[in-house]
Amino acid sequence: MVVAVVALFVGLAGSSYAVTGVITQTEPNSVGSNAIKNNSIKGKDIKKNAIKSSDIKNGQVKNADLGNSAVTADKLADDVSLAGSQGPPGPAGPPGATGEQGLPGVGDTGAQGADGVDGVDGVDGQNGATNVVVREKTTVQTSPILPGIATIFCDSGEVATGGGGASTDATRFLRISTPRVDGGAVVGWTVVFSATNRQPPSPADVTAFVVCASP
């Protein structure tokens, strides 16, 4: 068989070669790579599926050898993907602007709830003092030297709420006026009168008063 014009592609070292002319030989491998002109073989000169992956050495085809969009997903085997490995997450973006405040909700006011249950009654407190009396006691101080002292107590069931004292000797002054406490409760009152330094004291009566209250 005589081939008038032959275009043959041979993959060698990443270059394409072409040979044109009249070839009368039909034996295999009768055309060498040195007989093919560079860039003379185009894609249209190659039969579809004429070149297999086994015809191309590993690393023979570089990115520079491929045109834009020359390899698409439909040209890849099922187990081959164009997607690379997932990259690291990017930095967080700045916060977004605060949105506008929403409009107030629309709706009718709900019905008034039922009254709550009344609370439990508290414990009754103790009765307050309704009976108030003033009790007094007088002590005769016959010594002009010793201070005059008088003490008065409330009756049982009463509580002292105040007190005081008096002396019949004008030269004596009230030195102490204090409540008497028993078991935490005020039960009486004590007063002490002492003489002044202006003149010697005279014997006098000293009286203690206490205000007692009871229920």
Q: What is the pLDDT of residues 136-185, one digit of tens each?
A: 999 987 777 788 899 999 999 999 999 999 998 877 889 999 999 999 99
pTM of the model: 0.41
- Give the residue extent of every domain in the chain: 1-68, 131-214
Distance CA 40, CA 8 (A): 9
pLDDT at 213 over 90: yes
Q: What is the pLDDT of residues 97-148, one digit of tens each?
A: 888 888 887 878 888 888 888 888 888 877 777 899 999 999 987 777 788 8
Q: What is the CATH number of domain 131-214?
A: 2.60.40
Supply the pLDDT for residue 71. Answer: 67
CA distances from 144 to 114, 149, 151, 160, 206 (A): 80, 13, 19, 31, 13
Of 88, 68, 71, 70, the C-alpha closest to 80 is: 71
